Amino acid sequence: MFILPKGTPLAENVPTSRIDLPVALGKLRNSSFNGYAKFSLTSTTGVFLYIDGRLISALFQPDGTGSLQDLDAIQATIESLVLNRDGAFSAYRFSREIAFALLALFRGELILNAQEMQLIDFKAVLEKIKGEHMNACLKVYTENRAGLIFYRDGAPIGFFHDSAQEIGLSQTEVRTIAGLQGAKIDVLAIKESEETATLLDLHDLLDLAKSWSVAKENVFTTVSGSPAASRSLPPASARPAEPFETNLVALQAGLSEIAFSYLGKLGRPLLEKELAKTSGPEEILVPEKLERLLASLEKGAKLLTNSAKIKQMLDSMRAEVARHN
Amino acid sequence: MDSMLSLLPKIYNPVEYDTFSIIQTVFWFMAAAISFYFSFKIARLWTSISVGFFLIFWSQAYMLNPYAQSYNKMTAIHYVIGAVAILVISHGFQEYYIFTRTLEITGGKYLVYLTTIGVIALSTVLITLNPKPTLQVLRNYKIMENSIWFFLAILNMYMVWKIFNELRDSFVAKGILCFAVVFFFIVLWKGSELYLQIYQWDKDWMDIIDFTGEATDAAKYATQINVAQFINRYSALLSGISVAGTFSYLFKLLR
């Protein structure tokens, strides 16, 4: 059973038909994002793991078959996104420690693989992780339940299970899963320490924008946020109950488009620079913070266009934020 | 009137009001006025550019003064002001380029004003403390000013091109590119004068050797001299027209 923890949501279940992949991933890159972006498609899942804004690893998990990793996973995800309009995009932020521990889940060395809990000494496994100061992810699972324990330098830093909303500090439920009939255990570890690990950015190895446009040209004619896409979202009862859902990634993409159309090529990086100064993308939704952001943007915009167009741009941005609020 | 005239300094050289010079001064005034407007409304880097163009207008206008050649120390100061003008303009364009790469605008406008005033004040003090410049010394100051202008104008053409490449699809890009034309004419203007000065075919040198009785080979190279003088005259006018045109265009774009 494939399980990923949930962190602070940046976006949840955004229809993939509304996502411009290079723009969305560019946002994560520019905001020094720690966490993962998940593309839940009809029969597959693509997950991109970020540490400090760098795309460190990717996983493509088709249902029932073997998974792909890194560049193959990115390529497969792009192709599936282009072919499949009915997907959902989510992005969750974690602390850097958890994100690094998640790396073990993506490409850690398999210390234990599908070992039955009844056949191993679980305490000894925990001692081994502790004794060797592993950066690891321990996964306990049955056919119906799954739980994760994240380790940093041999010490547990977080616990997650399939019915949790976020990573917590209580190991109770994970231990319960470990005690279930037929429970199995995987232990994946990263040998390098967090400080010394070589975290190669997969963005540098693959021209994402080009891959995306090539994939779209070959398969798609036009893609837009159509009503059909929203109807295919999972029914509300199946979605986790959230008091407030913000389509932050789509909002940022919209603002970026507005900045580009009024200011040209420099509009996007100018907006991203101002957004990076905020403490989080959700700040755009606060009126005072938004006005401050727009005032900073205006200063740079004065060197690129005239005051009438700047005013139109700022009004358009306010309208875009109001639409998403 | 005669009693008043005796108090005024002697005019050593005949005052010639060249129509071209007057037209040039008017155009430089237009450029200075519009760039001042930008410096109030927009960012600090326009302050550098506007201060520079204002100083150019000031030094151009000063040369229309019939007593310009009589106060040697003032003349020297105005050659230095001319050099400071192109330095400040170059600083503005370099900041513009840095902005296109980093998208950062830092520093205050008053720093530009104060630094410019400070540099001019320091130069004034230095010139005042030194002996009254002779005609040869004034010519040396002019050669210094022309050299600085010539090389910085070439550099600024390159800067403008780089800025244009970064701003290519923005609203203001074509306006910025027009500055390349301005600097091209300035290169011709100052370059032709520098050429004459280096080979001692310029008017100032001819005036000096009128006093000293030194010989010159100007007659042998009349063609080169005439071509250089032609380029100097018309490129000076065209630089004034182009700078006024550029600022007018930018005013229309950025209003």
For residue A177, the model assigns a pLDDT of 87
For residue A244, the model assigns a pLDDT of 44
Q: How close is the nearest chain B Cα to the Cα of A251, in Å?
A: 22
Per-residue model confidence as pLDDT tens for chain B (255 residues): 444 455 555 555 565 667 777 888 888 888 888 888 877 766 677 888 888 988 888 887 877 776 666 678 888 998 999 999 999 999 999 999 998 888 887 777 888 889 999 999 999 999 999 999 998 999 999 999 999 999 999 999 999 999 999 888 888 888 899 999 999 999 999 999 999 999 999 999 998 898 888 888 888 999 999 999 999 999 999 999 999 999 899 888 877
- Pairwise CA distance, residues A37 & A47, whole Å: 6
For residue A231, the model assigns a pLDDT of 35
Q: How many CB atoms lie within 10 A of CB A32?
A: 13
Cβ contacts of A23 within 8 Å, gap of 6 or more: A253, A256
Choose among A269, A270, A309: nearest Cβ to B171: A309
Cβ contacts of A297 within 8 Å, gap of 6 or more: A259, A270, A271, A274, A314
Name the domain count of chain B.
Answer: 1
Residue B173 in contact with partner chain A when CB distance is under 8 A:
yes
| E strand intervals along A73-206 | 88-93, 109-116, 135-141, 146-152, 155-161, 184-190
| In a domain? residue B82 | yes
- Pairwise CA distance, residues B218 & B51, whole Å: 38
| In a domain? residue B12 | no
Tell if the CB–CB gap between B171 and A273 is shorter than 8 Å.
Answer: no
Q: How close is the nearest chain A Cα to the Cα of B59, in Å?
A: 28
| In a domain? residue B11 | no
Which position has the higher pLDDT, B107 or A163? A163
For residue B81, the model assigns a pLDDT of 92
Confidence of residue A51 (pLDDT cuts 50, 70, 90): confident
For residue B3, the model assigns a pLDDT of 47
Lookup: tokens for A116 = 């039955």
| In a domain? residue B157 | yes
Distances in whole angstroms, Cα of residue B228 to Cα of each of B196, B203, B205, B208, B233: 7, 12, 15, 20, 9
Residue B99 in contact with partner chain A when CB distance is under 8 A:
yes
Lookup: tokens for A188 = 């994946």
- Pairwise CA distance, residues B253 & B175, whole Å: 8
Q: Count residue pairs from A and B with Cβ separation < 8 A.
A: 57
| In a domain? residue B4 | no
Q: Which domain holds residue B156?
A: 17-254
- Pairwise CA distance, residues B20 & A44, whole Å: 76
* pTM, entire model: 0.56
For residue A122, the model assigns a pLDDT of 81
In this prediction the ipTM stands at 0.75
Tell whether the model's pLDDT for residue A138 goes beyond 50: yes
Residue B119 in contact with partner chain A when CB distance is under 8 A:
no
Residue A264's closest chain B neighbor by CA? B170
What mean pLDDT comes out for the span A245-250? 66
Confidence of residue A43 (pLDDT cuts 50, 70, 90): confident
Tell whether the model's pLDDT for residue A229 goes beyond 60: no
Mutate one of B103, B105, B177 to test the A interface: name it (highest A CB count within 10 A): B103
Q: Which residues of A250-261 are buried (b: 16+ CB within 10 A; e: fewer)?
A: bbbbbbbbbbbe
Closest to A38 in 3D by CA, of A26, A28, A46: A46
Tell if the CB–CB gap between B105 and A303 is shorter than 8 Å.
Answer: yes
For residue B168, the model assigns a pLDDT of 84
Residue A130 in contact with partner chain B when CB distance is under 8 A:
no
Tell if the CB–CB gap between B170 and A307 is shorter than 8 Å.
Answer: no
Mutate one of A303, A312, A313 to test the B interface: name it (highest B CB count within 10 A): A303
For residue B154, the model assigns a pLDDT of 97
Among A residues 267-286, those touching chain B with beta carbons less than 8 Å apart: 267, 269-270, 273
- Pairwise CA distance, residues A49 & A105, whole Å: 10
Choose among B42, B96, B103: nearest Cβ to A270: B103
Q: How close is the nearest chain B Cα to the Cα of A137, in Å?
A: 40
Q: Dump pLDDT digits (tens) for A5-20.
A: 888 888 888 888 888 8
Closest to A56 in 3D by CA, of A101, A14, A11, A24: A101
| In a domain? residue B60 | yes
- Pairwise CA distance, residues A74 & A21, whole Å: 11
Mutate one of B171, B174, B176 to test the A interface: name it (highest A CB count within 10 A): B171
For residue B221, the model assigns a pLDDT of 92
- Pairwise CA distance, residues A129 & A187, whole Å: 9
Residue B177, burial from CB neighbour count under 10 angstroms (0-12, 13-18, 19+): middle
For residue A2, the model assigns a pLDDT of 66
Residue B68: CATH number of its domain: 1.20.1070
What mean pLDDT comes out for the span A177-189? 87
A18-27, A210-219, A307-316: least confidently modelled range: A210-219
Closest to B61 in 3D by CA, of B27, B110, B105: B27
Residue A270's closest chain B neighbor by CA? B103
Lookup: tokens for B83 = 């050099």
For residue A199, the model assigns a pLDDT of 67
> What are the chain B neighbours of A265 within 8 Å (beta carbons)?
166-170
Choose among A300, A306, A308: nearest Cβ to B103: A300
